[in-house]
């Protein structure tokens, strides 16, 4: 049978329908599609795809199981390397990782590795398999700070090795960016909850409402008998552009907008946490977070949603699939545009006018690409005299975050770099003995899978250290 | 789940609760705050810590029933539980080295001013307290302030109790009479803190204000609590949850803070009415 040059398309909700609901956009492969897609894998001996995976999943191994229709076997292969397969199958940028290295991709389209991973995890999760059993304890205790992807990975890997792991989460819900940031339509909360249940079954103790650096310090964790601490506290304070008008009502950071909608469920028909719904919305930025914010605004009932990005489509950092989905749903991309000022309503005759202080528009300037900067990206340069008004009443700033100061400020001997990121060595250890770190707290805003890779690496290093100690 | 160990009504709209939260009680210092959720679907609201008892592991909060969430919280009784209670958040008030301080509290803000007055009094600082309320029925914590103040001036807007007028009246009188303070610490409605700052300005007394803007996570993630400081003519964005809640009153853009506080005024009014109606129907 000749090989199919194209990977099997992912069934998705119709764009016109999904733009008005929060249900998951991508519906997942059926078994038949999955087995056909698995048959496209060449099972290369050198497995270049594995090198493209930050957590080194045995990709040809799990696909080989799928070829034999052994989904549970495939799940076991993936679980050996990844604690969160249902999450990764959904949010990993496979096109720049495993799939970018796929031999099939040299002449044809690569194997749909991410889609297959998701199929395996979803099939396993829906089968109500007996939960994993907690392995025998090795007597060592490790504290993990935060419960986002890097922390959950670190906790899961250590628990599988018999460590007694406690996870300390500052919010009331477990999952970090997976529950406050990534929207329901891209990663349903039940998926995250299921993965967390799996960790609990492994014996991981999860404590919510614990702000390390405030409720307890890192030093106190050691006093309580933890032998190592992993800091996966994630990215912190949202960045703003420092242009006039950013404090007007109707200007949000993407973190705030997404947190209100996702974590606090402001998308419900009768929410208890408010959010501005409807109207015209501009999202500033071009990353995955910007796409999430724009598509959330649309689903909340916005009549018009713009992405305002200062470079061109070529430089736009979001995953291609997210950009395509956003375009299909009707998000209006205003590329090579940059905000200059946000304008607000002001009734000079009535200081008590309730409309005062709300956004009425955003003044932008057109840009062109100039010389490449230090990173090789062409620097956007404003075109003089090209300013124009964008008619919007909500502005969402999705231009990155700066590291959270809470832990650094309360942990003596913990060094950070110029950007506030925690400094670690090649073994993921910080400048404090037995304190490890990874994920956005180290690198600044990055992807779920790179955070997981960091959590995995730290778990290995912690294991090595505590076993030889 | 966090148990309500004690509930006491201080006036018809202000309630004191002691919540069992030993980890928070161990750490909380005057000026810091907590965030709570009443139930599993509830919103997160910040409240300043009014006191702690390490022995019983309890944290005292004092809140005014102003919206849906504080209404729901007030429906809870002693022995019942609330879903979430996290803290202590924010930086503690910086009180070291203060010898003579004027505390100016307004309304439920007095609940935040009280632990600071207590702490100052405990470290031997001379404390003058000016506390203001709209009328006699709303007066809270008078005895508590009397115990930790060298001088206590009660004010009501309508003159039904204490002196008649705003808190700025006696403050101005004292400053004009040549009274010196190391610092004025003011806590209450933003408009009051603005006018306390303006009153103190000609006399060059340092003013610290305690800001309590709209917040979600309270740990430096969402940025909703941002406010603007004006320092050397430059506008600087700060986050009340991690940089505050205390700020130099001379730097805060109060008008902007007041405007931002009203962002969801309409939503909150509806939510409050709906919640009240639900309870009325249930009764």
Q: How far is A246 from chain B (nearest CA, A)?
A: 10
- pLDDT beyond 60 at A225: yes
What per-residue string of b and e applies to A377-388 under the rule 16 or more CB within 10 Å gives b?
Answer: eeebebeeeeee
**Higher-confidence position of B82 and B41:** B82
Best of B22, B29, B34, B222 to disrupt the A interface by mutation (most A CBs within 10 Å)?
B222
CATH number for the domain spanning B49: value is: 2.40.30.10
pLDDT at residue number A72: 94
Q: What are phi and psi of A293, to 5 degrees?
A: -65, -45
Residue B81 and residue B106 in one domain: no
Per residue in B42-55, pLDDT (tens digit) is 999 999 999 999 99
**Global pTM?**
0.92
Q: Is residue B34 situated within a structural domain?
A: yes
Residues of chain B whose C-beta is under 8 A from some C-beta in A? 23-24, 27, 37, 41-44, 68-69, 83-89, 216-217, 219-224, 226-228, 237, 239, 242, 253, 256, 259-260, 262-268, 271
Interface of A with B in 259-298 (CB under 8 A): 259-260, 263-265, 272-274
- pLDDT beyond 90 at B89: yes
Q: Which of B41, B60, B89 is at the close of a domain?
A: B89
Residue B8 and residue B81 in one domain: yes
Q: Is residue B6 situated within a structural domain?
A: yes
Partner-chain residue, chosen from B37, B89, B268, that has the shortest CB–CB distance to A211: B89
For A373, the 3-state DSSP assignment is coil
CA B149 – CA B114 distance, rounded (Å): 10
Cβ of A253 and B220 within 8 Å?
no
pLDDT at residue number B279: 76
Residue B176 and residue B106 in one domain: yes
For A31, the 3-state DSSP assignment is helix
Q: Which residues contact A83 (CB under 8 A, 6 or more apart)?
A: A152, A153, A155, A156, A157, A195, A198, A199, A452
Q: Which of B143, B168, B200 is at the close of a domain?
A: B200
Q: Is A252 touching B (CB cutoff 8 A)?
A: yes
Q: Is residue B135 situated within a structural domain?
A: yes
Cβ of B88 and A356 within 8 Å?
no
Q: How far is A245 from chain B (nearest CA, A)?
A: 10
Report the run of H or E that residue B212 belongs to, with start and end: none
Best of A146, A148, A170, A445 to disrupt the B interface by mutation (most B CBs within 10 Å)?
A170
- The region of weakest confidence among A122-136, A239-253, B94-108 is A122-136
The structural domains of chain A, ordered by start, are 15-126 (1.10.1060.10), 141-236+402-467 (3.50.50.60), 240-399 (3.50.50.60)
Residue with tokens 């733009």: A19
Chains A, B: CB contacts under 8 A, how many? 112
Per residue in B195-229, pLDDT (tens digit) is 999 999 999 999 999 999 999 999 989 999 999 99
Residue B126 and residue B34 in one domain: no
Best of A166, A172, A224, A402 to disrupt the B interface by mutation (most B CBs within 10 Å)?
A172
Partner-chain residue, chosen from B37, B88, B259, that has the shortest CB–CB distance to A249: B259
Alpha-carbon separation of residue A130 from A66, A133, A202, A447 (angstroms): 21, 9, 12, 31
Report whether A149 contacts A452 (CB < 8 A).
Answer: yes
CA B258 – CA A93 distance, rounded (Å): 43
pLDDT at residue number B282: 65
pLDDT at residue number A208: 97
Q: Is residue B27 situated within a structural domain?
A: yes
**Full domain range(s) for residue B281:** 211-283
Q: Classify strands A205-207 and A164-168 as parallel, antiparallel or unpaired.
A: parallel
CATH number for the domain spanning B169: value is: 3.40.50.80
Q: Which of B89, B113, B140 is at the close of a domain?
A: B89
Which residues pair with residue B69 across a beta bridge?
none
Contacts of A272 in chain B (CB under 8 A): 41-43, 68-69, 271
Q: How many domains does chain B have?
A: 3
Residue B196 and residue B107 in one domain: yes
Contacts of B57 in chain A (CB under 8 A): none
Q: Is residue B206 situated within a structural domain?
A: no
Cβ of A214 and B27 within 8 Å?
yes
pLDDT at residue number A91: 85
- pLDDT beyond 70 at A19: yes
Cβ of A274 and B27 within 8 Å?
no
Measured CA angle at A291 (ends A287, A295), to 5 deg:
170
Do you find a cis peptide bond into A444, omega within 30 degrees of 0?
Answer: no
Per residue in B66-85, pLDDT (tens digit) is 889 999 999 999 999 999 99
Residue B101 and residue B196 in one domain: yes
Per residue in A341-380, pLDDT (tens digit) is 999 999 999 988 889 999 999 999 999 999 888 878 888 9
Partner-chain residue, chosen from B86, B224, B237, that has the shortest CB–CB distance to A256: B224
Band (A120; pLDDT cuts 50, 70, 90): very high
Q: Is residue B8 situated within a structural domain?
A: yes
Contacts of A210 in chain B (CB under 8 A): 23, 86
Cβ of B220 and A237 within 8 Å?
yes
Residue B145 and residue B166 in one domain: yes
**Considering chain A, what percentage of its residues have pLDDT values greater than 70?**
99
Q: How far is B275 from chain A (nearest CA, A)?
A: 10
Average pLDDT score over chain A: 92
Q: Largest Cα–Cα distance of chain B, in whole Å?
A: 58
Average pLDDT score over chain B: 93
Residue B160 and residue B181 in one domain: yes
- The region of weakest confidence among A278-292, B22-36, B171-185, B252-266 is B252-266
Residue B186 and residue B118 in one domain: yes
Contacts of B27 in chain A (CB under 8 A): 214-215
- pLDDT beyond 90 at A67: yes
Residue B137 and residue B168 in one domain: yes
- Of A34, A31, A61, whose CA–CA distance to A47 is shortest? A61
Band (A468; pLDDT cuts 50, 70, 90): confident
Q: Is residue B205 situated within a structural domain?
A: no
Band (A131; pLDDT cuts 50, 70, 90): low
Residue B110 and residue B183 in one domain: yes
Per residue in B157-192, pLDDT (tens digit) is 999 999 999 999 999 999 999 999 999 999 999 999
pLDDT at residue number A272: 85
Residue B102 and residue B196 in one domain: yes
Report whether B220 contacts B239 (CB < 8 A).
Answer: yes
Q: Is residue B252 situated within a structural domain?
A: yes
């Amino acid at each position: 049978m000749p090989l199919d040059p194209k990977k099997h398309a992912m069934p998705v909700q119709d764009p016109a329908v999904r733009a008005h609901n929060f249900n998951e956009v991508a519906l997942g492969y059926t078994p038949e599609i999955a087995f056909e897609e698995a048959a496209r894998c060449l099972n290369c001996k050198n497995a270049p795809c594995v090198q493209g995976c930050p957590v080194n999943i045995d990709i040809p191994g799990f696909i080989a199981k799928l070829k034999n229709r052994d989904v549970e076997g495939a799940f076991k292969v993936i679980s050996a390397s990844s604690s969160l397969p249902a999450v990764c199958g959904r949010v990993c940028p496979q096109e720049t990782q495993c799939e970018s290295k796929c031999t099939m991709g040299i002449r044809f389209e690569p194997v749909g590795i991410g889609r297959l991973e998701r199929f395996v995890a979803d099939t396993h999760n829906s089968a109500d398999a007996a939960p994993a059993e907690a392995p025998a304890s090795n007597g060592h205790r490790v504290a993990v700070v935060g419960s986002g992807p890097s922390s959950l990975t670190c906790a899961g890997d250590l628990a599988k090795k018999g460590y007694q792991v406690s996870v300390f989460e500052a919010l009331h819900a477990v999952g970090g960016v997976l529950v406050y940031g990534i929207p329901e339509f891209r990663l349903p909360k039940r998926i995250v909850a299921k993965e967390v249940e799996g960790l609990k079954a492994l014996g991981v103790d999860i404590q919510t409402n614990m702000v390390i650096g405030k409720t307890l310090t890192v030093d106190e964790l050691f006093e309580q008998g933890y032998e190592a601490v992993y800091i996966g506290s994630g990215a912190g304070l949202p960045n703003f552009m420092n242009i006039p008008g950013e404090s007007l009502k109707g200007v949000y950071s993407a973190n705030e907008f997404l947190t209100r909608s996702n974590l606090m469920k402001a998308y419900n028909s009768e929410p208890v946490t408010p959010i501005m719904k409807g109207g015209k919305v501009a999202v500033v930025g071009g990353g995955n977070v910007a796409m999430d914010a724009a598509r959330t605004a649309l689903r909340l009932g916005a009549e018009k949603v713009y992405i305002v990005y200062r470079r061109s489509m070529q430089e736009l950092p979001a995953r291609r699939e997210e950009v395509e989905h956003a375009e299909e749903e009707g998000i209006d991309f205003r590329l090579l545009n940059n905000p200059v000022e946000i304008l607000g309503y002001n009734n000079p005759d009535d200081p008590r006018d309730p409309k005062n202080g709300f956004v009425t528009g955003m003044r932008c300037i057109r840009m062109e690409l100039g010389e490449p900067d230090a990173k090789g990206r062409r620097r956007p340069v404003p075109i003089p005299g090209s300013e124009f008004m964008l008619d919007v009443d909500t502005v969402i700033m999705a231009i990155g975050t700066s590291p959270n100061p809470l832990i650094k400020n309360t942990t003596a001997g913990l060094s950070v770099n110029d950007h506030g990121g925690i400094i670690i060595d090649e073994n993921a250890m910080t400048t404090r003995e037995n304190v490890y770190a990874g994920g956005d707290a180290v690198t600044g805003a990055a992807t779920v899978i790179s955070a997981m890779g960091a959590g995995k690496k730290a778990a290995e290093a912690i294991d090595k250290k505590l076993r030889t100690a | 789940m966090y148990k309500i160990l004690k509930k006491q009504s201080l006036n018809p709209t202000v309630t004191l609760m002691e919540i069992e939260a030993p980890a928070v009680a161990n750490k909380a210092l005057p000026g810091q705050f907590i965030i709570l959720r009443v139930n599993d679907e509830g919103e997160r609201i910040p409240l300043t810590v009014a006191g702690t008892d390490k022995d019983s592991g309890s944290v005292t909060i004092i809140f005014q029933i102003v919206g849906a969430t504080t209404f729901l919280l007030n429906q809870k009784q002693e022995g019942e539980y609330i879903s979430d209670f996290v803290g202590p958040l924010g930086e503690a008030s910086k009180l070291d080295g203060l010898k003579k301080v004027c505390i100016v509290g307004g309304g439920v803000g007095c609940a935040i001013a009280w632990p600071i007055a207590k702490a100052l009094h405990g470290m031997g600082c001379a404390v003058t307290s000016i506390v203001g309320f709209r009328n006699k029925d709303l007066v809270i914590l008078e005895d508590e302030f009397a115990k930790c103040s060298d001088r206590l001036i009660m004010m009501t807007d309508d003159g039904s109790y204490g002196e008649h007028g705003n808190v700025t009246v006696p403050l101005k009188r004292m400053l004009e009479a040549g009274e010196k303070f190391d610092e004025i610490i003011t806590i209450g409605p933003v408009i009051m803190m603005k006018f306390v700052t303006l009153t103190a300005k000609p006399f060059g007394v340092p003013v610290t204000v305690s800001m309590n803007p709209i917040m979600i996570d309270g740990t430096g993630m969402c940025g909703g609590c941002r406010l603007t400081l004006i320092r050397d003519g430059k506008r600087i964005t700060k986050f009340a949850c991690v940089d505050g809640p205390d700020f130099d009153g001379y730097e805060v853009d109060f008008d902007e803070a007041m405007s931002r506080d009203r962002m969801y005024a309409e939503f909150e009014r509806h939510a409050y009415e709906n919640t009240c109606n639900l309870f009325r129907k249930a009764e």
